[in-house]
A = this chain, B = another copy of it.
Amino acid sequence: MPLFDLPLDQLRGYTSRVTPPADLQTFWDATLNEARTFPLNATFEPVENHLAVVDTFDVTFAGYGGSPIKGWLHLPVNRSAGTPLPVVVQYIGYSGGRGLVNQDTKWAQAGYAHFIMDTRGQGYGGILGETADPHPSAGEVAYAGLMTRGSGSREDYYYRRVYVDAFRAVEAAQSHPGVDPSRVVLAGISQGGGIVVAVAGLVAGRLDGVIAALPDVPFLQDFPRSIDIAARGPYPEIAAFLGRHRDRYEPMLAVLNYFDGVNLARAATARALYSVAQMDDVCPPSTVFASFNAYGSGSAAQKDIEVYRFNNHEGGQEHHWIRQLQYLRELLG
């Protein structure tokens, strides 16, 4: 497909018109404090994975509202008993879930603890999930898909629950004895990358141990522009909803503003390695650069971005994974 977004030199300088709501921190303080009133209850059940080199644990922990959130923890079999491992906490792309028990072990193969969080209410699109989204808004009328679930208020918006789950997933990962809680890396592609950005921002000042963020072609960034220009993928769910609910544009933007990675990224302090694809019409490059340029702007966090010039939303794929492996090797020794 032809290039459709800004040219690269303008992308590098692109700043979103998104500005954080005045009470952004208050909102998230209240949200996360409430979440922490539920005991984490992280459990790790060993499970048959049919593999010889990786051990897998079926994870459950209390997410938003105390709901049970599923996950996998993969550990290399040949780990040293007394030496906890750095952990990669991985979030999943839109529509997917944690998958089958041995479907993705890649960070464990690389010698890390590998924690995969199931995304509530998803897992219908190609990779199975098992975590429900038990919230009143689930039964409300929304556009098909999850992007507009509960979008009537910031309190009910679907991603409030997801971000809380994701924050607590870090705590759950840190609670396992095989994991070194001071060396947490966040990773994810598309929606997973968007959650990485959000959590990287939310942990700042609230939770220690996150030392790096690896958002790939992240979704959930720069909503006002994304919903105007994304041609495929989940952003158009919002546009379609607004095409039906013609009076909801401003209120919708006001709600989304609390969840926009561009706003949350500013507070981040962990170093970051982004990726962006210049022909990506699902997560347009300008919206990714909007996030990258905002990321850690308070703390001058170290950050890099890998540009994939002729790729659509598939981004860097297996090539970028090797790039990340090298990046982590440097970081974690």
Interface residues of A (CB under 8 A from B): 1-4, 50-54, 76-78, 95, 97, 99-103, 105, 108-111, 120-126, 128-136, 138-145, 227-231, 239-246, 249, 279, 308-312, 314, 316, 318-319, 321-322, 325-326, 329
Q: Which of B52, B120, B141 contacts A121 (CB 8 A)?
A: B141
Not counting A121-B139, A246-B311, a sample of 13 additional A-B residue pairs whose C-beta atoms are within 8 angstroms of each other reads: A1-B231, A2-B230, A95-B144, A100-B322, A109-B109, A123-B141, A128-B244, A129-B141, A130-B141, A132-B139, A239-B279, A243-B279, A243-B310
Instruction: Kindly identify which residue among B111, B130, B135, B309 contacts A139, using a CB–CB cutoff of 8 Å.
Output: B135
- Please give the count of copies of this chain that the complex contains: 6
- Known A2-B229, A53-B108, A246-B309: A144·B121 in contact at CB below 8 Å: no
Report the nearest B residue to A311, measured CB to CB.
Answer: B243
Give A243 to B50 CA distance when docked, in angstroms. 23
**Residues in B whose Cβ lies below 8 Å from that of A134:** 136, 139
How far apart sit A138 and B240, CA to CA, in the bound complex (Å)? 21
CB neighbours of A102 from chain B (8 A)? 109, 318, 321-322
